[in-house]
Amino acid sequence: MQEIDIVIIGGGCSGMSAALSAYKKGVKNVLILERNAYLGGVLKQCIHNGFGIHRFHKDLTGTEYAKKYIDEIDDNQIPYLLETAVLDISKDRVITAISPSKSLIKIQAKAIILAMGCRERSRGALMIPGTRPAGIFSAGTAQKYMNLEGYMVGKKIVILGSGDIGLIMARQFTLEGAKVLAVAEIMSYSGGLRRNIVQCLEDFNIPLYFNTTVTKIEGLRRVSGVWLASVDKHKQPIPSTMRLIECDTLILSVGLIPENELTISAGIPISESTGGAIVNDSFQTNIPGIFACGNALHVHDLVDYVSFESEAAGENAVDYVSSTSPISNDTIRVTEGFGIRGAVPHKIQLNTGKEKVKFQFRPDRPFGPSLVNIYSENECIYSTKKQVMTPGEMCELSVPIKNMKEDIRIEVVPT
């Protein structure tokens, strides 16, 4: 069996960032496994800009952002295998993968970094009633057809959900000559970035309806229309508001789910809140030597933060492999208090010599001016002011560890 120090699963932004940082920190025996025939993952289909402002202080397209990493991977001759799909990871870090050229391979890894990214929530998961015609796409699938394959998916389009990919696609459909008739959002606020609402909808006069959802899909062969309805405060459609919009396409941009089939196969517990692995402040899962980062750990708003996080995970994997990781028997839990969801990390190791821990989370609803407080047991050990917080944007806090004693709780206190 082949032995590798650090195997990175996934060659998207997260995997490449982790591999590069591990390599630069001195572990040369690394390997990226990528199931596609190219590195870069979903960035390759993101031909719009807005990438890299934090990481490179430049406004890049997704493809340009990916290229920076791919070039660096190639310049450093970091090994990767393409068209290689990982089927299984065992508790003792044996990876089983297949590829047409290498057949079935088994790799014993000293450390593994899980960087599989995320997938889109489907129509089936939403249980939208109606027929099952052609013309229903998740936003990312439509993006793939358009930007990687070069085909239009529809002409008269309704978008459900105001997630970022849906907003980006609304603009692109319009630029390519299709008509976006409506964007419907069941919540009273958008799940996307403010800048995307302005640049992708408002600039093109595309109507965005809040508190509105799709209640039924019509059409036998191709979508012929969708029913929109306003929802009440329990998110139930109000029958008197139902209206039929004639269209040939329904695009779903209704949330992303971290990809964790492999994580589960290794027996690693998953957080109900993030949908990703439960990790400590080193991004290490419950299995020593297996780390998780990027959108496989929790869904990020900007790729820049995926890079930062994955670079940290890569360095931590190096520490683990070279037996210099902090060893601590004193671990405390992090819980989500009022107004908080998707908090990472889930556990913090004490007495490791590390000074600060970086928390990432999202508010579970929009907040105006408020405090974000961090409690250790019931004592507030950290507090910071936020003017505005929305679920579409991730929050990050760097908090000193020294005052942490008992279980940690993060909470929003509106002021």
Q: Applying CB under 8 A, which residues contact another protein?
A: 35, 83, 85, 87, 96, 98-104, 119-120, 122-125, 127, 129-135, 138, 140-141, 144-146, 148-155, 176, 215-217, 220-222, 248, 261, 264
Q: Contact 169/196 with Cβ under 8 angstroms?
A: no
- If the CB atoms of residues 277 and 372 are measured against another protein, the closer one turns out to be 277
- If the CB atoms of residues 117 and 363 are measured against another protein, the closer one turns out to be 117
Q: Contact 223/217 with Cβ under 8 angstroms?
A: yes
Rounded to whole angstroms, the Cα distance separating 397 from 189 reads 24
- If the CB atoms of residues 126 and 187 are measured against another protein, the closer one turns out to be 126
- If the CB atoms of residues 144 and 365 are measured against another protein, the closer one turns out to be 144
- If the CB atoms of residues 133 and 326 are measured against another protein, the closer one turns out to be 133
Q: DSSP 3-state assignment of 18?
A: helix
Compute the least distance from the CB of residue 176 to another protein, in Å: 6
Compute the least distance from the CB of residue 392 to another protein, in Å: 21
Compute the least distance from the CB of residue 65 to another protein, in Å: 21
Compute how many other C-beta atoms are within 10 angstroms of the C-beta atom of residue 213: 23
| DSSP type of residue 336 | E
Sign, Cα dihedral of 381, 316, 266, 32:
positive
Compute the least distance from the CB of residue 248 to another protein, in Å: 7
> Would strands 225-230 and 212-218 be described as parallel, antiparallel, or unpaired?
antiparallel
Compute the least distance from the CB of residue 169 to another protein, in Å: 13
Q: Which runs of E-coded beta strand occur in 185-289?
A: 208-209, 212-218, 225-230, 243-246, 249-252, 256-258
Compute the least distance from the CB of residue 302 to another protein, in Å: 22
Identify the helix (H) or strand (E) that includes residue 170: helix 164-175
Compute how many other C-beta atoms are within 10 angstroms of the C-beta atom of residue 349: 21
Compute how many other C-beta atoms are within 10 angstroms of the C-beta atom of residue 347: 17
- If the CB atoms of residues 101 and 324 are measured against another protein, the closer one turns out to be 101
- If the CB atoms of residues 60 and 229 are measured against another protein, the closer one turns out to be 229
Q: Contact 2/8 with Cβ under 8 angstroms?
A: no
Compute the least distance from the CB of residue 131 to another protein, in Å: 4
- If the CB atoms of residues 101 and 323 are measured against another protein, the closer one turns out to be 101
The CA radius of gyration of the chain, in Å to the nearest whole number, is 22
DSSP line for 377-393: TTEEEEEEEES-B-TTS
Compute the least distance from the CB of residue 281 to another protein, in Å: 27
